[in-house]
Structure 1
Amino acid sequence: MNKLMTIARQFRDDENGAAMVEYTILLGIITVAVILSVIFVGGWVGTQWTALTTQLP
C-alpha cells in the first residue's frame, strides 16, 4: 500500500507533462501570429507593388 501511495505522490508532483502542454500551446500561438503577419505583410507588399507598377510609364 505504501508503494502505491508513493507512486501516486510522484505522479501528482511531476510537472513535466504540464510544461510540455504549455510550451505546445505557446508554440501554436506563435505559429498563428507568424502566419497572420506573413499574410498581412504579403498583402501590403502586393498592394504597394501594384501601385508602383501603375505609376511607371
Structure 2
Amino acid sequence: MRSLTKNLVSFIKKEDGPTAVEYAVMLALIIVVCIAAVTALGKNANNTFSKAGSAVTS
C-alpha cells in the first residue's frame, strides 16, 4: 500500500497527469465541435438535396 501511495505522489509531482488531463479535455472539445459541424452540414445538405429532388420530380 505504501508503494502505491508513493507512486501516486510521484505521478502527481511529475506533471504528466495534469498534462494528460489537459490533452483529454482538448480532445473532448474538438470532438464536440466536429460532431456539431457534421450535424449542421448534414442537415444543410439534406435540405439542399431535398429541394433539388423535388425540383427535378416536379
Segments of 5+ residues of structure 1 without an aligned counterpart are 1-6
User: Which digits, 9 at most, give the CA deviation of each residue in 1:2-51, with x for residues without a partner?
Assistant: xxxxx7xx846411001000000000000000100110000000000000
Larger RCO: 1 or 2 (CA < 8 Å, sep 6+): 2
Alignment length (residue pairs): 49
C-alpha separation in 2, matches of 1:24 and 1:13: 19
Normalised TM-score (structure 1) = 0.75
Structure 2 unaligned regions, length at least 5: 1-5
TM superposition outliers: structure 1 runs of 4+ over 4 Å: none
Instruction: Give, as a single letter, the amino acid of the residue that structure 2 aligns with 1:37.
Output: A
Aligned-CA RMSD value: 1.8
